[in-house]
Structure 1
Amino acid sequence: MLGSTGPTVAEILTSHQSGSGSPSKTAARVADDIAARGDDGTWITPVPRDELLAAARELEARPGARMLPLYGVPFGVKDSIDVAGYPTTLACPDYAYVAEVTAPAVQRLLDAGALFVGKTNLDQFATGLNGTRTPNTIPRSVFDDNLICGGSSSGSARAVALGQVPFCVATDTAGSGRVPAALNGILGWKPSRGLISTVGLVPACKSLDCMTLMATTVEDLDLVADVIVALDENDPWSRSRGPHHAGTAIRVGLPAVDELDFFGDDAMRTAHVAAREHLQGKGFAPVATTIEPFLAAGELLYQGPWVAERLVEFADFLAAKPQSILPVIRDILNSGKRFDAVDVFRAQQRLQELRARVGRTWVDFDVLIVPTIGTTFTVDEVLADPIATNTTLGHYTHFGNLLDLTAIAVPAGTTSDGRPVSLMVIGPALSDDVVLASAARLIDEPRAPLFAHRLHVVPQEDRR
């Protein structure tokens, strides 16, 4: 794993609760780090230094605050999610508005004592997997300034990988959290849809949208999930978390390497094969399988009518201010107009067939492991061919929400020429704890199977 230059959630909590550190000292460090780097494409709206320090002092003065589960832990929020008093821009200045209400998921973090640091950069309207589709400064991978950062949650991944914050709240509709996590050597967890409320998120495709978390350790993901995962009666997709994993052997489905596509990237193929060989002795029981039905579902995302769902949110703005939208995003939005109701039903029927096929595979194994990305691109390569390169980046991620899966991008070293390698662990809906346990094993991180947060108890008022 790429070593973060900043402390983890767990380390910050230990420091703050012991008194060896404080929210004010942490806030000052974060503000100074952001200022020192300047506009590098990570943040769109960072909280001003004086405001961040004031929030930290207010937290310190609050009775009993030191016992809050995220006391003084700084975090970022993707700029498609509302935080009251701050602009939500979606990387489109003419679309921007100042939010009046904080998204419930973010509010839960604030109530738990976390410190909001600012809004992070993204591909405009959360449309894209590469991070170059922004009128703001284009962020770059922390591995190489020539490499793309990945998107659409580009700034979120970069902020965590740089160690500026230990975690970020982002989104993942088609890979928007997992791809930038892979390109920056961190963990990007796409929970089962509905575990984290999407109220207060400007939709990309509302039926597929999913909040995601980025961090550098599974322990940090567990700590944040314990706070942010909750039922929300205002979110029609909301549902309770699934069972905990008991720590037993995990059956892992492995497609034949020849079935995987690395798009001519031999170094990435070699690195992936080596990473798979390291599964031995980590509590995994390999099972041969095929990835064909998963990929077939992924092809429906942009070849099918789901792209038209973006017009539910953006059609009026597209009609009123088309020149305010980046040309590549404008073309994608306009492409949704070609579909009719027959196309929708035809695609839904095909997707249901594939869901049934995929559903039957989980009898044979608990999780599937594939590459998160099959290759990488430079910024120049993406700008020269934005559609084809973006499709390639989503090869292994597009099907996730269409098939109602949970998944996590897990760093797995580098290629021989120094580019990031990432494995993706995939499981059926509500198998999130097995997926997180798998990730911990992959990075050799101890994870006890019976933590309280994994025996998730739903408060009486939240039960339905």
Structure 2
Amino acid sequence: MLPTFLDIATLSKGYRSGAFTPVDVIRAVIERIEAWPDRAVWISRFDDAALVAAAEALVAAGAPSDDQPLWGIPFAVKDNIDVAGLETTAACPAFAYRPDRDATVVARLKAAGAIVVGKTNLDQFATGLNGTRSPYGAPRSVFNEAYVSGGSSSGSAVAVASGQVAFALGTDTAGSGRIPAAFNNLVGVKPSRGMLSGSGLVPACRSLDCITVMAGTAGDADLVRRVAAGYDAADPYSRDLPAAALPAGGFRFGVLDAEEREFFGDDATEALYDAAIARLEALGGTAVPIDYAPFRECAALLYGGPWVAERLAAIETFVDDNAEAMDPTVRTIVEGARAYSAVDAFRGQYRLEELRKLTDTQWALMDVLLLPTAPTAYTVEAMKADPIRLNSNLGRYTNFVNLLDCSAIAIPAGFRPDGMPGGVTLIGPAFADAALAELGDRLHRASPFGMGRDTAALLPEASRIAAPAEELLPVVVVGAHLSGMPLNPQLTTAGGRLLKTCRTAADYRLYVLPDTVPPKPGLIRDPGFAGDGLAVEVWGLSAAAFGAFVNAIPAPLGVGKVTLDDGSQATGFLCEPYAVKGAREITALGGWRAYIAEKTAIV
């Protein structure tokens, strides 16, 4: 007997035990697609015989191997991503073409044993966050047919949440993979830019687009991400960098302060956000109110600034010849790009960098950011009556993420009294995807709300994400390597994890080293000196990373044992005494962050 929700872990367990086969699952998928009342979910799919034949061929080839972690798993693909044998329409029939090969990401998933069922509906040309901008109809939330499904990856979310497939690919430029996840009680992984190849993707904003994954659990979604990820020389925006880390123990998470909270009158969704904050605190996090204003201003650039010109650049020839074939709202947005000049584009870049510096000051206060995925949910009727303003409201907490090169994972957060789900999103630096998934899994399991429309479903233990088990060597940092400081990436890109924030013992002094770029402090121990200790961070590195990190430390800095305020000792940065002669002492400020803040205020 198949479960209502087709999660990867349960299907894989059933295959191994012989409870059912991929052929059984595909036959059930066909039945579920035919029985589902919302006919706007799919734009095209392989016919029944072809799907059954694909499953039979998989079984005939033998049991799954270690390199086929998705063996027999049915999935859907948003119809702006190429699948050989099916048209790519981007929800615009006049644009349709038939590709001769799979998109790189689709090919990797198929090689891992997954079975493509078909292509799902979307806001036309992935322009929208609501799911109503398609000539193929408007998919509805699986919890209330009066409400939007979220977009632009609308059909993908409904196909997973209704139990028709185990996972689906979407795309996310402004929140298109996260908001539909929230409105359908799913996990939505928005990978770091360039982590998943864009080859075979119809671009919306090519420099920002991310192919995304929607599934029932963080473990399932992250598994798909890992299978699909990898450098692709055919995609000029493809990147392959080491994983960034989040703190191993206590961590700081940013939350909205009172001034920036906006739920458009939806007190129930605000209550879900507050409940998620409490759960994350119970998991060891410290909530830190941050100033969201620079993030919000950055978000406004995506549709209210020159980046809208990228949407025209993607399909300019088609728009010139076929504008009348486009959805009216999408056409208005895309053709609005003609008002922007190259000068505007540069000014937009300048403003983005100004805002990035402001957001950097907020990132220095936190390790991860927790935001509502969407501030509220709208009915289809309301959205069609006011399509641009209400769509903009939906993107209040999502639009900035790709502009600022962040990774993100959307997690279910519960239900309003009317039964509509809400969600929250964990946001971190680029390439923190694995660490975010582990934290997101913990948050999801702290108060599970089922998977998709099956709200009673238990999250499978097999999809639980284990915390990293490798033993880490501690290193104490006091200056430019602190979180958010210029040299911190030397730790995060090496897989470092923030273990704790604390102070040194009382007998340490801190100086500003002259003529260092970026500015660096010198830490000196002065036995007999009775201060208040200095603010430091203790990071953990693998043995290999620790050795490489220490070997790169320049004179006059060196390493030695630093005594902390609890009496313990750990290897850390110390300075040779000769280097601080005549240097400014900043011990009284209490730490390097206070000095940088003072210096910034003076400037």
Q: TM-score, normalised by structure 1?
A: 0.93
State the 1:287 CA deviation. Answer: 2.0
State the 1:245 CA deviation. Answer: 5.5
State the 1:38 CA deviation. Answer: 5.3
State the AA in 2 paired with 1:96: A
Instruction: Give distance in 1, aligned partners of 2:137 and 2:208.
Output: 28
Partner of 2:43: 44
Partner of 1:77: 77
Instruction: Give distance in 2, aligned partners of 1:444 and 1:65.
Output: 29
Match of 1:410, SS?
A: strand
Paired residues for 1:285-364 under 5 Å: 285-364=286-365
State the 1:269 CA deviation. Answer: 2.1
State the 1:375 CA deviation. Answer: 1.0
State the AA in 1 paired with 2:24: K
State the 1:246 CA deviation. Answer: 7.2
Partner of 2:204: 204
Q: 1:444 to 1:247 in 2, by over 3 A?
A: farther
Q: Deviations over 1:51-108 (max 9, x none)?
A: 1000001111114545421110010000000011110011111111111111011100
State the AA in 1 paired with 2:104: P
Once the two structures are overlaid, the 10-residue window that deviates more, 421-430 or 264-273, is 264-273
Partner of 1:181: 181
Partner of 1:449: 467
Once the two structures are overlaid, the 10-residue window that deviates more, 260-269 or 162-171, is 260-269
Does residue 438 of the first structure (1) align with residue 439 of the second (2)? yes
State the AA in 2 paired with 1:124: Q
For the 8 Å contact 1:153–1:170, the answer to whether it is kept is yes
For the 8 Å contact 2:141–2:183, the answer to whether it is kept is yes
For the 8 Å contact 2:141–2:148, the answer to whether it is kept is yes
State the 1:438 CA deviation. Answer: 2.1
Instruction: Give distance in 1, aligned partners of 2:310 and 2:157.
Output: 26
For the 8 Å contact 1:188–1:409, the answer to whether it is kept is yes
For the 8 Å contact 1:182–1:422, the answer to whether it is kept is yes
Higher relative contact order (CA 8 A, sep 6+): 1
Q: Deviations over 1:312-339 (max 9, x none)?
A: 1211111111211111111111100000
Does residue 424 of the first structure (1) align with residue 425 of the second (2)? yes
State the AA in 1 paired with 2:159: A
Instruction: Give distance in 2, aligned partners of 1:120 and 1:371.
Output: 26
Q: Deviations over 1:120-147 (max 9, x none)?
A: 1100111100100000121100111111
Structure 1 or 2, whichever has the larger Rg, is 2
Instruction: Give distance in 2, aligned partners of 1:17 and 1:109.
Output: 19
Unaligned runs of 5+ in 1: 457-464
Paired residues for 1:49-448 under 5 Å: 49-63=48-62, 65=64, 67=66, 68-240=68-240, 241-243=242-244, 247-444=248-445, 446-448=464-466
For the 8 Å contact 1:141–1:158, the answer to whether it is kept is yes
Q: 1:66 to 1:56 in 2, by over 3 A?
A: farther
Q: 1:244 to 1:50 in 2, by over 3 A?
A: farther
Once the two structures are overlaid, the 10-residue window that deviates more, 315-324 or 386-395, is 315-324
Instruction: Give distance in 2, aligned partners of 1:270 and 1:223.
Output: 31
Q: Deviations over 1:380-406 (max 9, x none)?
A: 000001010110011111111111111
Does residue 19 of the first structure (1) align with residue 5 of the second (2)? no
Instruction: Give distance in 1, aligned partners of 2:28 and 2:302.
Output: 42
For the 8 Å contact 2:80–2:125, the answer to whether it is kept is yes
Match of 1:116, SS?
A: strand
State the 1:264 CA deviation. Answer: 1.7
Once the two structures are overlaid, the 10-residue window that deviates more, 78-87 or 242-251, is 242-251
Once the two structures are overlaid, the 10-residue window that deviates more, 442-451 or 258-267, is 442-451
For the 8 Å contact 1:362–1:428, the answer to whether it is kept is no
For the 8 Å contact 2:197–2:235, the answer to whether it is kept is yes
State the AA in 2 paired with 1:402: L
Instruction: Give distance in 2, aligned partners of 1:245 and 1:429.
Output: 11
Q: How big is the alpha-carbon RMSD for the aligned residues of Structure 1 and Structure 2?
A: 1.9
Match of 1:170, SS?
A: strand
* Structure 1 runs (4+) greater than 3 angstroms displaced: 63-67, 243-247
State the 1:277 CA deviation. Answer: 2.3
State the 1:39 CA deviation. Answer: 5.1
Match of 1:85, SS?
A: coil
Structure with higher helix content: 1
Instruction: Give distance in 1, aligned partners of 2:124 and 2:217.
Output: 28
Q: TM-score, normalised by structure 2?
A: 0.72
State the 1:32 CA deviation. Answer: 1.0
Q: 1:247 to 1:220 in 2, by over 3 A?
A: farther
Instruction: Give distance in 2, aligned partners of 1:428 and 1:210.
Output: 15
Match of 2:307, SS?
A: helix
Once the two structures are overlaid, the 10-residue window that deviates more, 412-421 or 165-174, is 412-421
State the 1:166 CA deviation. Answer: 1.5
Q: 1:287 to 1:307 in 2, by over 3 A?
A: same
For the 8 Å contact 1:77–1:156, the answer to whether it is kept is yes
Instruction: Give distance in 2, aligned partners of 1:401 and 1:149.
Output: 22
State the AA in 2 paired with 1:218: A
Unaligned runs of 5+ in 2: 447-463, 471-493, 496-603
Q: Deviations over 1:283-331 (max 9, x none)?
A: 3222222211111100111111111111112111111112111111111
For the 8 Å contact 2:32–2:163, the answer to whether it is kept is no
State the AA in 2 paired with 1:449: A
Identity %: 46
How many positions carry a matched residue from both structures? 451
For the 8 Å contact 2:9–2:220, the answer to whether it is kept is yes
For the 8 Å contact 1:244–1:450, the answer to whether it is kept is no
State the 1:251 CA deviation. Answer: 1.9
For the 8 Å contact 1:257–1:273, the answer to whether it is kept is no
Paired residues for 1:26-37 under 5 Å: 26-37=25-36
State the 1:11 CA deviation. Answer: 1.1
Instruction: Give distance in 1, aligned partners of 2:275 and 2:61.
Output: 51
Match of 1:117, SS?
A: strand
Q: Deviations over 1:229-265 (max 9, x none)?
A: 1111111222225145574333211122442111122
State the AA in 1 paired with 2:146: N
State the AA in 1 paired with 2:330: I
State the 1:347 CA deviation. Answer: 0.5
Once the two structures are overlaid, the 10-residue window that deviates more, 17-26 or 115-124, is 17-26
For the 8 Å contact 2:179–2:374, the answer to whether it is kept is yes
Instruction: Give distance in 1, aligned partners of 2:227 and 2:97.
Output: 27
